[in-house]
Chains A and B, each alone.
Chain A
Amino acid sequence: AQTVTQSQPEMSVQEAETVTLSCTYDTSESDYYLFWYKQPPSRQMILVIRQEAYKQQNATENRFSVNFQKAAKSFSLKISDSQLGDAAMYFCAYITVETSGSRLTFGEGTQLTVNP
């Protein structure tokens, strides 16, 4: 079974600084997607960034980028120039593509605080 582990329950960063959130996962499959979701106090799940496992290039979305290390099964999220609006719970998630219509498997989350 696939598992996703986020070892940092809480992180904090100063506004305008950079922070990295860690995620590791376990799978025996070769083709899958990894995601970072943001959940602000409103509880809406917002997709931040997506990475396909067979793509070696790390995904980037504006101030958000990932460091995907497939052999190490590591998928960290870097937030540059942190803003107050980045404060939220961040979830790492995994989905296989070997079965269409599969479930997402989420980590336990990292609560990010941004200090002004």
Chain B
Amino acid sequence: NAGVMQNPRHLVRRRGQEARLRCSPMKGHSHVYWYRQLPEEGLKFMVYLQKENIIDESGMPKERFSAEFPKEGPSILRIQQVVRGDSAAYFCASSPWRSGGYNEQFFGPGTRLTVL
């Protein structure tokens, strides 16, 4: 059973370009979370999605960032017109769904974005 997969593992973009980060959840998981880790900091929540639905995007910057989790295919985190401050490691986690209680999140290896 493959774990959470993220690609690319490393992404280099120039200022003003677009970055697309992909996350394939574990088999059977219908929930995806994105976290950002700035250099020398802990992970910060960005967005929580179910298939075709954004549940909580309270951690997303108001501009340039968007996320989707379509019915088919991976979840995509999209950053438009990247700036140097977007350089970070972006982690995806997935979880199964059980009503009530705690749904364990399994992390992918992360995508390290470098903006030149």
| A15, CB-defined interface residue at 8 Å | no
Tally A-B pairs: CB < 8 A: 55
The answer to whether B48 touches A103, judged by C-beta atoms less than 8 angstroms apart, is yes
The answer to whether A101 touches B109, judged by C-beta atoms less than 8 angstroms apart, is no
Whole-angstrom distance between the Cβ of B106 and the nearest chain A Cβ:
9
The answer to whether A103 touches B59, judged by C-beta atoms less than 8 angstroms apart, is yes
The answer to whether A101 touches B42, judged by C-beta atoms less than 8 angstroms apart, is no
9-residue interface stretch from B15-23, B69-77, B79-87, B94-102: B94-102
The answer to whether A33 touches B102, judged by C-beta atoms less than 8 angstroms apart, is yes
For chain B, give the interface size range: 20 to 34
The CA of A42 and the CA of B6, in the complex, are separated in Å by 14
Q: CB-CB < 8 A to B101: which residues of A? A: 97, 100
How many residues of chain A get a CB closer than 8 Å to chain B's CBs? 18
* Of the residues A33, A42, A97, A106, contact of B42 by C-beta under 8 Å: A106
Q: CB-CB < 8 A to A44: which residues of B? A: 107, 109-110
The answer to whether B107 touches A106, judged by C-beta atoms less than 8 angstroms apart, is no
The answer to whether B91 touches A45, judged by C-beta atoms less than 8 angstroms apart, is yes
9 closest residue pairs by CB, A with B: A106-B42, A103-B45, A45-B107, A106-B43, A97-B102, A108-B42, A43-B110, A109-B42, A44-B109
Where the two chains meet, the residues of A that have a C-beta atom closer than 8 Å to any C-beta of B are 4, 33, 42-45, 91, 95, 97, 100-101, 103-109
Apart from A43-B112, A45-B91, 12 more pairs, CB < 8 Å: A97-B101, A101-B55, A101-B97, A103-B56, A103-B59, A104-B105, A105-B45, A106-B35, A106-B42, A106-B43, A107-B42, A109-B41
